[in-house]
Amino acid sequence: MICSIIPPYMLRRLAAQNEPRLRIIARAAKESLLQIKSLQAVRALPVPAPVPTARQAKPGPPKRTIYDAESAEVLPGKLVRKEGGAATGDAAADEAYDGLGETHRLYAEVFSRNSIDGVGLKLDATVHYGQLYDNAFWNGSQMVFGDGDGEIFQRFTKSLSVIGHELAHGVTQYTAALAYRNQAGALNESMSDVFGVLVEQHAKKQSAAEASWLIGEGLFTDAVQGAALRSMKAPGTAYDDDVLGKDPQPDSMDTYVRTTADNGGVHINSGIPNRAFSIVALELGGNAWEAPGQIWYNTLASGSLPATCTFRRFAKATAASAEELFGAGSSEHDAVLKAWETVKVKL
């Protein structure tokens, strides 16, 4: 499945713009929507079977390769940097290289996971994809980054949480293989947001209290009234802009959005489990990649989640993981129960 960081509803807002300064961007957004749709309809490579356990091999060093699409839409593009190679001087290429490294480091050091698939998958990324391309995506085998349009979005390698988010789709692909639709799809998106912020917090050595809990911070230009694509701590508050509209994410089941758009609201309703994770992390304090991250990772990699997992089933699984790892009645277990109660997901 093609999983992109920019939701289709945001691209549709851009595509509908008629202002002279935005017409070129609107045209590019329309092309991006069509391109993502075609990629989803015809997946070039089959999705590998999930790896059944989180620890298949001792983590080794990353194996990164960065390519330059040179504004074309042909993958992978021209090789510009291999593992251990010197910095290129191209900000996008070097940010992608460093971001892949930080993502690999989190999984290796914190979760004892050997790359995305658990057995040392090579990490490939292509930068400078397309013209005015407002997106980044995981295509089932590699990362792809656009440069943005310069008016609304900056280059997509600028945000470490975006790099971590997209690579986490690969981890989900190789573990729970959550379907990309409805609540399972929202959980798929949420897992990517969770591990996206964990990559960023781990790299910056930020505690849960110090972190912004924003996804895509730094992507918007100064022309946009907004801080990021999403806020995990306060869903629905990330942006409120004349061009992009208002952040539509709900923060609890009371405002759950029922829609057929966006594969059943996968980028919208992910705000609910996102907030639950942030509540656990802030309740426990310290580093979110420690107890909270271990609970969520153990749940994802346990093999117990069905492809069509619901919020309720996922919540029960996180509670079971917290009990397994830390014991019933522990502060960790209690924090998980409190978080799901707060966002109105019944266990």
CATH number (domain holding residue 213): 1.10.390.10
Q: Give the span between the Cα atoms of 341 and 253, in whole angstroms.
A: 10
Report yes or no on 290 lying in a domain: yes
Q: Are residues 121 and 220 in the same domain?
A: no
Q: Give the span between the Cα atoms of 126 and 296, in whole angstroms.
A: 29
* Confidence (pLDDT) at 54: 44
pLDDT along the chain (347 residues), means of 10: 90 93 90 79 50 62 98 97 98 99 98 97 98 93 96 97 97 96 98 99 99 98 98 99 97 98 96 99 99 99 97 99 98 99 98
Number of domains making up the chain: 2
3-state secondary structure of 38: helix
* Confidence (pLDDT) at 166: 96
The domain boundary, picked from 174, 201, 216, lies at 174
3-state secondary structure of 235: coil
Residue 274: Cβ within 10 Å count: 28
- Among residues 102, 166, 200, 217, which one is catalytic? 166
* Confidence (pLDDT) at 34: 85
Q: Give the span between the Cα atoms of 142 and 118, in whole angstroms.
A: 15
Element (H, E) at 215: strand 214-215
Question: Is the pTM here over 0.75, yes or no?
Answer: yes
Which amino acid is located at 334 in the chain? D
Q: Give the span between the Cα atoms of 292 and 280, in whole angstroms.
A: 6
The domain boundary, picked from 140, 174, 208, lies at 174
Q: Which one, of 301, 258, 306, 253, lies nearest residue 276 by Cα?
A: 253
Q: Do the beta carbons of residue 107 and residue 172 sit within 8 Å?
A: no
Instruction: Write out the E strands in 17-127.
Output: 64-68, 78-82, 123-127
Q: Are residues 242 and 324 in the same domain?
A: yes
Q: Are residues 61 and 194 in the same domain?
A: no
Instruction: Tell me, yes or no, if 333 is annotated catalytic.
Output: no
Q: Are residues 38 and 22 in the same domain?
A: yes
Instruction: Tell me, yes or no, if 290 is annotated catalytic.
Output: no
240-241 and 123-127 beta bridge pairing: unpaired
Q: Give the span between the Cα atoms of 201 and 165, in whole angstroms.
A: 13
Q: Are residues 160 and 222 in the same domain?
A: no
Token pair, residue 81, equals: 């940097």
Token pair, residue 259, equals: 């829609």
- Among residues 104, 169, 267, 333, which one is catalytic? 267
Nearest 5°: phi and psi at 28? -65, -35
Q: Are residues 150 and 95 in the same domain?
A: yes
The domain in which residue 65 lies consists of 3-174
Report yes or no on 347 lying in a domain: no
